[in-house]
Amino acid sequence: MFHINSKYKLLTGCIISALAGFVTTLGFAPADMWYLSLAGIFSFGFVYAGNTTPRRSALTTLIFFFVMHMCAVSWLTSVMTGYGEMSYALAIGVLILFSLYLSLFPTLAGYAAHRLCTGMPTVRNLVLFPSLIVLAEIINSVLFTGFGWDLLGYTQIDSFFSAYAPLIGVQGMSLIMLIVIMGVVYACRRRYIGHAVIPTVLIIFGLSMQNFEYTRVGNPVKAALIQGNVSTSVHWNQDSVWEELEIYIQEMRSNLDTEIMVWPESAIPDLENNMEKLKVLSMLDYEAKYNNIGLITGIQYYDVAKQQFFNSMLGIGVIDKKKERQYTFGEGNRYYKRHLVPIGEFVPFEWLLRQMGPIFNMPMSSFTRGSDVQENIMVQDLNVASAICYEMVYNNELRDQVNEKSNLIVTVSNDGWFNYTDAPMQHLYIARLRAKEFGKPVLRATNNGITAVIDHQGNIVKTIPANITATLRAEFRPTYGETPFSRFGSSFVYFYIGLTLLHTVIARLRYRNMISNRPSQQI
């Protein structure tokens, strides 16, 4: 594909890698051009396969991932300037450093694959490189609480690669995609069609299994998701608590012919403790139950005994259809957020960082994390797996909440922090992939958008425009059973990575033994 003069090979490779990194981001929402992402990754893979030294492999990998991350999460500058009161120049500097950090482990992966497979280009490109890149994504997703927002697999939500989501998750999608692309790259470089056999099989499998049903679908349920559209700048103002609450109560009373209603994250902008002192939640519980509505809302709770704040979701109203279960203050039928956002919801080393400026003193940034495994919230006799905001990014953590009894996933969020950026749409597409992975419909209620109902195949059933006060009314079908990913998580991905590392070690030992007798031979 590329005929590069050796004199300018490194420069050309760097330029192609940078362009490829930009093109790859076009597969993320809102562009959602997954085919361009494949073209971008293919172009980078072609450059990588042609590198002659580990340093060149590291450099081109660094450039590709740096540009990709810079473009994919550029919306962070809006958060930092809008709510952290940073200057634009400083925010750009932080974005550059953050993108370099996210590119570090992929760069080490590119270097290690070349270094460990010197003289073994087939093993390097077809076996080790895809595995190490996915391992780097996994590390980025867990280290220092993790940031798994822009994994390569998220570019393929609407492609045939999404067929692998309910089997091996988004990490597995990244792995299969890289195996396919590097196989095609190597087939083109070596002009040997045999290298394209496995990619062809994987593509055919993806195409044939794209709409396969792993869970059983139940009867339709009416849902109403309320989008309050409260400005983040006044959301935690104590003077506006009742005004905000009135928005949701009026929307609820205008939509009484529904079965399940969801209010967004922190829709009630005060502590559950304070609301129950005034019997507000008992009143809402009674009114929802009287109108046969199961209500889920975001609210904050303060555990007086432990002196801990929790970002929580609460289920009230019709919990069970016999209406025997009641709302109880501080216990039962609730979920406490477990994966907190650094700086936004907790501040590490706060004794030091809180002295350094407004960015480290955002409202409600002193939460305690909830338990890893918590019971499903129940409404209308349906078991609800819960996730608050950023938690939808972490599929293996959500897997702790989704079990064989779970019928749907409800996620509540306040994406007002993102302003008018690509982040809300990217967040919505991440929720789509969670629905596909677990075979569960997703009800996504947000403060200002994008509120949506997503079916168990990851298709958007209905949305409402962002930045308006409105109620989304739609039907969804709860599901029963589990997908392979729900049962086994990323076990296959971990096993495959371990297997490829073992294969590389064995191939390396064989190669050393071979060159001791035939120095010029390569495998």
Is 323 a residue of the active site? no
Name the active-site residue from 71, 117, 337, 436.
337
Cα 433 to Cα 397: distance, rounded to the nearest angstrom: 14
Is 251 a residue of the active site? no
Q: Confirm if 515 and 521 have CB atoms less than 8 A apart.
A: yes
Cα 381 to Cα 318: distance, rounded to the nearest angstrom: 8
Q: Confirm if 79 and 94 have CB atoms less than 8 A apart.
A: no
Assign 3-class secondary structure to 416-450.
HHHCCCCHHHHHHHHHHHHHHHHCCCEEEEECCCC
Name the active-site residue from 71, 251, 389, 437.
389
Cα 311 to Cα 236: distance, rounded to the nearest angstrom: 14
Nearest-CA neighbor of 174 among 96, 237, 109, 258?
109
Distance in angstroms between the alpha carbons of the first and the last residue of the chain:
24
Name the active-site residue from 137, 251, 265, 482.
265
Is 287 a residue of the active site? no
Cα 279 to Cα 491: distance, rounded to the nearest angstrom: 47
What is the helix, strand, coil percentage profile of the chain, to 5?
A: 50, 15, 35
How many CB atoms are located within 10 Å of the residue 282 CB? 15
Q: Which residues pair with 36 in a beta bridge?
A: none
Q: Confirm if 201 and 362 have CB atoms less than 8 A apart.
A: no
Cα 179 to Cα 132: distance, rounded to the nearest angstrom: 11
Q: Which residues are catalytic?
A: 265, 337, 389
